[in-house]
Chains A and B, each alone.
Chain A
């Protein structure tokens, strides 16, 4: 019920001018990449924007790397983001930012959660997990703006480590002009998360938002 009421009163704030806006979401299975993508997609729909999303299913889901292509705007036809044309690379895990680095546009934004999830391949001793500093450096060679954030820490501060994806949404919302307003994005979060987790998620969003605010001032 709530969904419909919101949709009817949706503010069509920016839909006219948006032709193409691409967000590439990545992470590890179980981290909430699909939920974060769902929140963004819903916000776009609530704003009356055309939206296409492409997800990883099947085999790749078993503890593997998860990626979602989100494409918003009137001039978007294909489900996959072209190489070098993502406005945002939104990564819930550092190595998963680097894994998809070719997608981000050279003047795009990378927001990355610095909390690593070490894959078992490292256990076998053949490969090592690179340092965050190293990953950050490489990311900066590909995108103009890179924001590293320990979203796990902020999520814990908000009251639930599982909200790391919402922390990241807050960071992104402050760091780039999205094709929908922050109010709509927050509304979309409200409609997505369970009622009892609402407060923690709002707090998580704000902590991310404030973090980006500070980060950008210091830059």
Chain B
């Protein structure tokens, strides 16, 4: 990450930034005063950048940033700052908006005082997510404007301008980005780092606005509709929604990344079509769209995921140009699922217009897929030394591998893969303990739930209270690796650190469990397989809900720490005593355990030196290299 460039105060300089860094920079240039977030790919680099910039800019340009316990908490925190008149952002991945949605729908009624932006980082193709929902609909159903950039430059500009738009309309604004924009890099021109000092204000009370009792909600709805009408006028005037003239009867209606894919497809197809790029996804620039579709006979809609623009343009065309031929997802020219690519769009436009794409993508893909049949898959895996691997192994030992394993979302979800196979259900964050409650009434199996430490704080506590209250029986193992690993090692209440490096209050998970009334709570180091297995056996025998905290720092953090302190990693090695039983690779697993022919070897460059495989080996054939060398000499 190039924080140096993100905090650089050199307006006009061109720097090469990640989309998410450009967005963070835009918020700073836009005079953000408060940000709150719960991490989630693909949004995490926006928040990590703001966290670091917040510390770096302290004294030069002051703003506050916190990692909140979950998205609802983050949203409400930012809403509070906005109600007091300060510019605020809440940042989350698409599914996080579901968690925050309760607050979102009602905050629209109250409206924003200080500019308020909700960043929704969507993930078409679900690269790192449990679904690929299209959050443009949130704007529609919550009556909140949605803006969506198409390029990194536009993302930078719009994140800066979004506060102004929000304040002008008196409404929260959803800023939608997608993985391929957030994780693309390009050159942006820096604006100014503001230099106004921060001052605290006195809250100006007004119950008729801020207290949503039914009477106020009813007047609030009217005000909201009036604001949305103003937003519609803005959308129709704004240059962010623009029409590019062409020389044909064909028009392309597009937005988001669809726009850049369409430009490339037109380039390759050598087509001079009209193009309308929509940036305000809600409200839509209906008049501009009307003008646009009046000029053409054939329309191709290019948008990722749901047929959102397509549905709306169909409604608009009914009055304006009923004969318009509309191509998109409904006509089967474009897919409903997954992210677009240039070839998908080139093919879609070509098929809409009865042409052939310039390259036979289908043929290449088919030939490539055929050729790739000899390829071993390389899915993401748990790292060498990952404490989750040890925990899963111990859990299997204790249950005789016969229990039901609801789990949750984090690195540990990778326990779904063989040979661990200790993840049977993953629904949503918090869903592990949640589903276990219902399962405990209806299944015969023992239930062992696994959740991460960050996940525990996010949404597991209410479900755990439910379990205690209702006498639901299962074992909850909190895989406490001292960080939010999956999304890039953000802190959380169980680490006691805070976003911008300040010290926070450390909240031990075991204390939370005990205070709720769980009467079996144990903390164990999963690297000690025997101990962890023994604790698990006792937890399984307990007649109510039991909580086991498997505490051991993430191996990546451990490696970093050792590197910093100049401590050499002591790898393990396989000795001649190996009988080739292969237990270490067929019931346990580690990327450092490599099978060469029928012989297991340890890749020293990968080995983290955790020694867990040493405990797995029934023949004592895995030893620390130090020991092995001493024995030889």
Q: Are B380 and A64 in contact (CB under 8 A)?
A: yes
Q: Are A75 and B267 in contact (CB under 8 A)?
A: yes
- How many chain A residues touch B (CB < 8 A): the figure is 53
* Interface presence of A199 (CB below 8 A): no
Known contacts: A62-B383, A130-B375. The answer to whether A54 contacts B180 by CB under 8 A is yes
CA distance A207 to B119 in the complex (A): 47
Q: Are A78 and B380 in contact (CB under 8 A)?
A: no
Q: Are A82 and B268 in contact (CB under 8 A)?
A: yes
CA distance A80 to B181 in the complex (A): 10
* Interface presence of B464 (CB below 8 A): no
Q: Are A63 and B383 in contact (CB under 8 A)?
A: yes
For residue A119, give the distance in angstroms from its CB to the closest CB of chain B.
4
Q: Count A-B pairs with CB separation below 8 Å.
A: 176
Partner of B591, one of A42, A61, A81, A120: A120
CA distance A60 to B264 in the complex (A): 27
Q: Are B181 and A79 in contact (CB under 8 A)?
A: yes
Q: Are A57 and B260 in contact (CB under 8 A)?
A: no
Which A residues are in CB contact (< 8 Å) with B42?
A: 57-58
Q: Pick the most buried of B42, B44, B341: most chain A CB atoms within 10 A of its CB.
A: B341
Which B residues are in CB contact (< 8 Å) with A55?
A: 18, 183-185
CA distance A122 to B597 in the complex (A): 10
* Interface presence of A197 (CB below 8 A): no
* Interface presence of B593 (CB below 8 A): yes
Q: Are B16 and A45 in contact (CB under 8 A)?
A: yes
Q: Are B376 and A63 in contact (CB under 8 A)?
A: no
Q: Are B341 and A62 in contact (CB under 8 A)?
A: no
Q: Pick the most buried of A60, A78, A85, A125: most chain B CB atoms within 10 A of its CB.
A: A78
Q: Are B376 and A122 in contact (CB under 8 A)?
A: yes
Q: Which of A96-104, A107-115, A171-179, A209-217 contacts B (4 or more CB under 8 A)?
A: A96-104
Q: Are B375 and A120 in contact (CB under 8 A)?
A: no
CA distance A206 to B166 in the complex (A): 55
Interface residues on B, range: 35 or more
Q: Are A59 and B486 in contact (CB under 8 A)?
A: yes
Q: Which residue of A lies closest to B266 (CB)?
A: A77
* Interface presence of B55 (CB below 8 A): no
Interface residues of A in 53-93 (CB under 8 A from B): 53-65, 75-85
Chain B window 145-179, contacts with chain A (Cβ cutoff 8 Å), 1 for yes, 0 for no: 00000011000000000000000000000000000
CA distance A122 to B383 in the complex (A): 16
Q: Which of B78-86, B311-319, B365-373, B498-506 contacts A (4 or more CB under 8 A)?
A: B365-373
Q: Which residue of A lies closest to B379 (CB)?
A: A64
Known contacts: A45-B187, A83-B341. The answer to whether A62 contacts B378 by CB under 8 A is no
Q: Which residue of A lies closest to B362 (CB)?
A: A83
For residue A54, give the distance in angstroms from its CB to the closest CB of chain B.
4
For residue A42, give the distance in angstroms from its CB to the closest CB of chain B.
7
Known contacts: A58-B128, A59-B127, A75-B267. The answer to whether A41 contacts B185 by CB under 8 A is yes
Chain B window 111-139, contacts with chain A (Cβ cutoff 8 Å), 1 for yes, 0 for no: 00000000000000001100000000000
Q: Which of B245-253, B390-398, B411-419 contacts A (4 or more CB under 8 A)?
A: B411-419
Which A residues are in CB contact (< 8 Å) with B589?
A: 120, 123
Q: Are A83 and B261 in contact (CB under 8 A)?
A: no
Chain A window 165-208, contacts with chain B (Cβ cutoff 8 Å), 1 for yes, 0 for no: 00000000000000000000000000000000000000000000
Partner of A82, one of B41, B45, B341, B590: B341
Q: Pick the most buried of B180, B181, B186, B268: most chain A CB atoms within 10 A of its CB.
A: B186
Chain B window 377-388, contacts with chain A (Cβ cutoff 8 Å), 1 for yes, 0 for no: 111111100000
Chain B window 240-272, contacts with chain A (Cβ cutoff 8 Å), 1 for yes, 0 for no: 000000000000000001001101100110000
Q: Are B187 and A60 in contact (CB under 8 A)?
A: no
Known contacts: A79-B180, A79-B184. The answer to whether A95 contacts B378 by CB under 8 A is yes
CA distance A106 to B245 in the complex (A): 34
Q: Are B595 and A123 in contact (CB under 8 A)?
A: yes
CA distance A85 to B184 in the complex (A): 18
* Interface presence of B585 (CB below 8 A): yes
* Interface presence of B359 (CB below 8 A): yes
Q: Are A54 and B414 in contact (CB under 8 A)?
A: no
Known contacts: A52-B185, A53-B186. The answer to whether A141 contacts B371 by CB under 8 A is yes
Q: Which residue of B lies closest to A42 (CB)?
A: B16
* Interface presence of B586 (CB below 8 A): yes
CA distance A172 to B594 in the complex (A): 31
CA distance A28 to B180 in the complex (A): 20
CA distance A118 to B375 in the complex (A): 11
CA distance A193 to B44 in the complex (A): 26
Q: Are A82 and B185 in contact (CB under 8 A)?
A: no
Q: Pick the most buried of B260, B380, B595: most chain A CB atoms within 10 A of its CB.
A: B380
Which B residues are in CB contact (< 8 Å) with A118?
A: 376, 594-595
* Interface presence of A138 (CB below 8 A): yes
Which B residues are in CB contact (< 8 Å) with A84?
A: 343, 359, 361, 364
10 shortest interchain CB distances as A-B pairs: A58-B41, A58-B128, A102-B368, A79-B184, A82-B342, A62-B380, A64-B380, A59-B128, A77-B260, A78-B260
Instruction: Given contacts A52-B186, A65-B378, list 7 more A-B pairs with CB under 8 A.
Output: A53-B186, A58-B41, A60-B127, A80-B180, A127-B376, A138-B374, A142-B367
Contact sample, A vs B, 9 pairs, CB 8 Å cutoff: A54-B180, A57-B41, A83-B364, A98-B371, A99-B372, A118-B594, A123-B595, A124-B418, A134-B374
**Which residues does A use to contact B, with CB under 8 Å?**
28, 41-42, 45, 50-65, 75-85, 95-96, 98-99, 101-102, 118-125, 127-130, 134, 138, 141-142
